[in-house]
Amino acid sequence: MSDQGTPPRMRRGSAREAKRAQRLAHAAQSVPFITRKIPLYEVLDEEGLALIEGNADTILEEVGIDFHGEEEAPAIWREAGADVQGERVRFPRGLCRSIIQKSAPREFVQHARNPARSVAMGGRNVVFAPAYGSPFVRDLDQGRRYGTIEDFRNFVKLAYASPYLHHSGGTVCEPVDLPVNKRHFDMVYAHMRYSDKPFMGSVTHPLRAEDTVEMAKILFGEGYLDPASGKPRTVITSLINANSPLTFDATMLGALKVYARNNQACLVTPFILAGAMAPVTIAGACTVTLAEALAGLAFVQLLNPGAPVIFGSFASSVSMQSGAPTFGTPEPALVLYTMAALARRLGVPFRSGGALCASKLADAQAAYESANTMLPTCLAGANFVLHTAGWLEGGLAMGYEKFVMDADQAGMMHTLLLGVDLSENGQALDAIREVGPGKHFLGCAHTQANFESAFYRSPLADNNSVEQWEAEGSKDMAQRANAMWKRMLREYEAPAIDPAVDEALLDFIQRRKASFPDSNV
Amino acid sequence: MSDQGTPPRMRRGSAREAKRAQRLAHAAQSVPFITRKIPLYEVLDEEGLALIEGNADTILEEVGIDFHGEEEAPAIWREAGADVQGERVRFPRGLCRSIIQKSAPREFVQHARNPARSVAMGGRNVVFAPAYGSPFVRDLDQGRRYGTIEDFRNFVKLAYASPYLHHSGGTVCEPVDLPVNKRHFDMVYAHMRYSDKPFMGSVTHPLRAEDTVEMAKILFGEGYLDPASGKPRTVITSLINANSPLTFDATMLGALKVYARNNQACLVTPFILAGAMAPVTIAGACTVTLAEALAGLAFVQLLNPGAPVIFGSFASSVSMQSGAPTFGTPEPALVLYTMAALARRLGVPFRSGGALCASKLADAQAAYESANTMLPTCLAGANFVLHTAGWLEGGLAMGYEKFVMDADQAGMMHTLLLGVDLSENGQALDAIREVGPGKHFLGCAHTQANFESAFYRSPLADNNSVEQWEAEGSKDMAQRANAMWKRMLREYEAPAIDPAVDEALLDFIQRRKASFPDSNV
């Protein structure tokens, strides 16, 4: 006997079955974010983590960070006690850490316009958001092409309809059909209108960050300010990438300043491809990442003590043969485990990971690489997971099929992160007593009582016999995903919005767009 | 700026590059097994694990295990202190555990005919073996068909040529073109002749187990006996599946007795599809698995105290809709983490996992599911990983493309399991000092000194630009894998064997085959 077995079959699908699936999907949809119950996984011990921290301090002290073209930074840093020479800022050991630990919140809530969808960032919480930033999109019907605002809206709708994505994300793809200097209006509006999940703001120019904040004020109305503190509620999280290695540029810092001063969350992310922006070693990549994050996070706290921040790490390797970015390999997973632990020691929420891959297609390469990133992301304890769904081709393309496939994997992570049920029902001793040797459990009372919610049920995996699979057209997962995203878009219904708010948003956009000429810079 | 980046390119492939790849492949080939350096991951704490152990004891005491049709078992168990009623054996609490802990080795070596390929089972060691037991094979050219002895030999050759598979496995596919009662001769011979890695024995009949032992005696000659102890060296590991739930059948027990009494390793594996052979809960599946394993492992120790054993767990779920087995879902991963911890507490080597999937094809489903099994396998601390490569369709088919794709993933696990290099070179502080803000690391001295071995290099992942990928035919990973396994078979060279040994093996087989008629039972 080998490891193959064909258990007795239960009766096949029916209308009742379809109803059950609906109920389950509904139940899943009501979780605004995950609170993990399983332990964290760490690869380095106390000594190893302290070594990386010490090295990051050495780099901050000896080499420093360039705050490129940022007018306020020199005075702010000098005032804080750093050594400023032109754009280069060098930091006494421990300075950045102490600034961050003095005021940065360990956890914060990003409010959604639907309060039931607000997300808690940090601690044991996990928030999944779609992929971000692709100029191209890909689907099985039309192949690869530049993204448009229609694609953008489609991905917002798909994320809204996905029970396992908690966040609407930001630049879910670049709407290349719109002018560069005005597309942020349509992007932010799409998140506000076609979803009621939390979203991200524009970072490509300080004025665009200000537009995002203004639109948020319209959307949230009186709810924008917290009546207790009188301060703005955090309703936007925005991605501030370092220009690695060891540099922040004026554009990103400009957006950072707008968001920080408005109490909106800054996700400060060193963008590290080891071998290019950092040494070819794991410890080296971690050191550069930590040094950059410390400087960026501390800068936010100097601008507005207490402003919410997330410590981001985007890390992978480059191929030492071609220089191309690679994903899903073991080295970035080791960086991820290490960085998550370092962020915990610092005491701020952590972002990393997602369903990263280098593959051009939603094929086996894409899936191996995505799973090899997503599982470490969840085990390491990432709090905010950008790029959970859709990522292809090193982020150059957003895939429709890949999106729903990854969202299915995000569903699996929901189950994984909840761990093992050790209740009496979970132990199921009576079921084992009842069935006994050589019998099967399909019909026993415990199975009947639990089977609806017993196992994660993938809408895309085909577990049927090969004969049935062939009768249904021998489709691979990407082909099944193609049917699924189309059905989701067909069945999509926009969340309700106060017509007056919608009108005010559209009016704001119209006035702002009319106030300056289109440009693609 | 988003998370996309295109680092500077290095110069492209060359003859020098090809030589480097060869050197690397050679270096990898010299690792006979992995000794893990990263920490283990566990999902349950001491209390949770003790609860499962207590429940397993309760099942062993109250319900018991059927030793079906096994003539010696009743007397052996009665003698050991168990309560025997016909075929049903009930065990005083702790009896099985104490029998196992009294004599079962915590670690053992399975010797290969090439001593450089012997593997250490248990402890921090990890051994990868191919998938096992499929009646069908699949490749892109011929689709799905029954396996033949030619396929069997091909998979033995591919495993031999794979630097990341340490073990030749057993029934790498069923050679359905040979009579059932004689195919074991050709299978065992193929492992002995076309590989020099360790292998598994026949378990489908006690006489076939004896044939396997006889052939091993011929192959190892004088080396079969350990001169120090006078006992046989362990040169065969064999898969003894329980007929779950809570039953061992006479066939498996017959093979187990032969191997145990010859000091060959028994891999005792409860075969659990939760919902069919166990309750629909994780804790319930773990309880049944542990109870069965305890009884089976203790039986080996009663037969021959000190005989090498491995605690196996093959666990997945069935679809509660169709009854079909499912793989790569979160529940079996949670079972895997739990069982690995329970095996460590028992103090015996552990087998589980592999690249399990339900997909019919080497598509994204196959890859997601395989990665979602393989990564937990490695983090949980499995020592022997059957089904590392090739598994498709719930084990019904062995895939040629899937085989080389999974072997690539096994390569990644080699790097992952070695963890983070914290040496001075690993820390790379001087490189960060040298490059500084805003520059890149591709040309720096540290990168030049380390780039050959810096990152795991997949032979199958395509990381090139979309333009180059299109110019090369827009191939998906399975298509690239198709070219790879064909090249590996073309370039395969059999390891040398003493012609006298080969002749003796062939002579033994011929005589044995002639001594009884063919049969397909």
> Which chain B residues contact residue A284 at CB under 8 A?
426-429, 431-432, 446
d(CA A358, CA A325): 7
Contacts of A409 in chain B (CB under 8 A): 368, 372
With beta carbons under 8 A apart, name residues in chain A contacting B364: 362-364, 366-367, 405, 476-478
Q: Which residue of B has its CA nearest to A238?
A: B2
Tens of pLDDT, residue by residue over A226-273, are: 999 999 999 999 999 999 999 999 999 999 999 999 999 999 999 999
* Pairwise CB contact (< 8 Å): A368 & B405: yes
Residue A498 tokens read as 């106060």
Burial (CB < 10 A; 0-12, 13-18, 19+), residue A289, is: buried
Q: Is the Cβ pair B329, A252 closer than 8 Å?
A: no
Q: Flag whether pLDDT at A309 surpasses 50.
A: yes
A interface mutation test: which of B10, B16, B368, B433 has the most A CBs within 10 A?
A: B368
Would the CB atoms of A319 and B387 count as touching at under 8 Å? no
Contact A10 B321 (CB under 8 A): yes
Asked if the Cβ–Cβ distance from B324 to A465 is below 8 Å, we say yes
Contact between A433 and B281 using a beta-carbon 8 Å cutoff = no
B3 neighbors A387 (Cβ within 8 angstroms): yes
Residues of B in contact with A416 (CB under 8 A): 330, 333-334
User: 3-state SS string over B295-348?
Assistant: HHHHHHHHHCCCCCEEEEEEEEEECCCCCCEECCCHHHHHHHHHHHHHHHHHCC
Q: Closest to B281 (Cβ–Cβ): which among A1, A63, A426?
A: A426
Contact B371 A376 (CB under 8 A): no
Least CA distance to B90: which residue of chain A? A437
Q: Could you read off the pLDDT of A468-497 as tens digits, one per residue?
A: 999 999 999 999 999 999 999 999 999 999
- What's the pLDDT at A3? 63
Average pLDDT over residues A344-358: 98
User: Are A451 and B280 inside 8 Å of each other by CB?
Assistant: yes
| Count of A-B CB contacts under 8 Å | 510
Q: Which of B365, B423, B424 to mutate to test the interface with A (most CBs of A within 10 A)?
A: B365
Q: How far apart are CA B181 and CA B199, in angstroms?
A: 20
The Cα–Cα gap between A168 and A386 comes to: 10
8 Å CB contact between B413 and B370: no
What was the pLDDT predicted at B344? Answer: 98
Half-sphere exposure of B144 (CA within 13 A, CB side): 19
Q: pLDDT digit string (tens) for A175-198?
A: 999 999 999 999 999 999 999 999
Closest B-chain CA to A21? B321
- What is the pLDDT confidence band of residue A4, given thresholds at 50, 70 and 90? low
The span from the CA of A443 to the CA of A181, in Å, is 62
d(CA B280, CA A453): 9
Mark yes or no for CB contact B41/A44 under 8 Å. no
B31-86: pLDDT as tens digits: 999 999 999 999 999 999 999 999 999 999 999 999 999 999 999 999 999 999 99
Contact criterion met (CB < 8 Å) for A282 and B358: no
User: Distance from A404 to chain B by nearest Cα, in Å?
Assistant: 12
- Give the per-residue pLDDT at A205: 97
Q: Which residues pair with B351 in a beta bridge?
A: B312, B384
Q: For chain B, state the CA radius of gyration.
A: 24
Q: pLDDT tens digits for A110-154?
A: 999 999 999 999 999 999 999 999 999 999 999 999 999 999 999
B7, B367, B431 member nearest A323 (Cβ)? B7
User: Looking up tokens 């402003």, which residue turns up?
Assistant: A307
For an interface test with A, give the residue of B46, B320, B442, B463 to mutate (most A CBs within 10 A): B463
**Structural tokens at position A153:** 């809206």
The gap from C-alpha A461 to its chain's centroid, in whole angstroms, comes to 23
Do residues A352 and A268 touch, judged by C-beta distance below 8 A? no
Report pLDDT digits (tens) over A371-402.
999 999 999 999 999 999 999 999 999 999 99
Least confident of A10-19, A24-33, A411-420, B207-216: A10-19
Position A14 scores a pLDDT of: 46
Nearest CB to A44; choose among B420, B425, B450:
B420
> Is B334's CB within 8 Å of A58's CB?
no
Nearest-CA distance A126 → chain B (Å): 16
**pLDDT for A26-73, tens place per residue?**
444 479 999 999 999 999 999 999 999 999 999 999 999 999 999 999
Has residue A448 got a pLDDT over 50?
A: yes
Amino acid sitting at position A345: R
Beta bridge partners of A326: A317
Name chain B contacts of A288, Cβ cutoff 8 Å: 432
Are the Cβ atoms of A365 and B362 closer than 8 angstroms? no
What residue has token string 């192949």? Answer: A143
CB contact under 8 Å between A326 and B461, yes or no, is: yes
pLDDT of residue B3: 62
The percentage of residues in chain A with a pLDDT greater than 90, rounded to a whole number, is: 92
- Mean pLDDT is lowest, of A16-20, A306-310, B241-245, B503-507, for A16-20
- Selecting from B5, B314, B365 the residue whose C-beta is nearest the C-beta of A461 gives B365
Nearest to B432 among A59, A204, A369 (CB): A59
- In order along its 521 residues, chain B shows pLDDT tens digits of 456 554 444 434 444 544 444 444 444 447 999 999 999 999 999 999 999 999 999 999 999 999 999 999 999 999 999 999 999 999 999 999 999 999 999 999 999 999 999 999 999 999 999 999 999 999 999 999 999 999 999 999 999 999 999 999 999 999 999 999 999 999 999 999 999 999 999 999 999 999 999 999 999 999 999 999 999 999 999 999 999 999 999 999 999 999 999 999 999 999 999 999 999 999 999 999 999 999 999 999 999 999 999 999 999 999 888 889 999 999 999 999 999 999 999 999 999 999 999 999 999 999 999 999 999 999 999 999 999 999 999 999 999 999 999 999 999 999 999 999 999 999 999 999 999 999 999 989 999 999 888 999 999 999 999 999 999 999 999 999 999 999 999 999 999 999 999 999 999 999 999 999 999 98
Confidence (pLDDT) at A323? 87
Q: CB–CB of A368 and B370 under 8 A?
A: yes
By Cβ distance, the residue of B321, B370, B456 closest to A329 is B456
Q: Do B63 and A433 touch (CB under 8 A)?
A: yes
Tens of pLDDT, residues B464-477: 999 999 999 999 99
ipTM higher than the 0.85 cut: yes
- Provide the shortest C-alpha distance from residue B48 to chain A (in Å): 7
Q: Give the Cα separation of A123 and A106 in Å (integer).
A: 7
Q: Where are the alpha helices (DSSP H) in B142-269?
A: 149-161, 183-194, 206-220, 250-261
The pLDDT mean for chain A works out to 94
**CB-count exposure of residue A227 (10 Å: 0-12, 13-18, 19+):** exposed
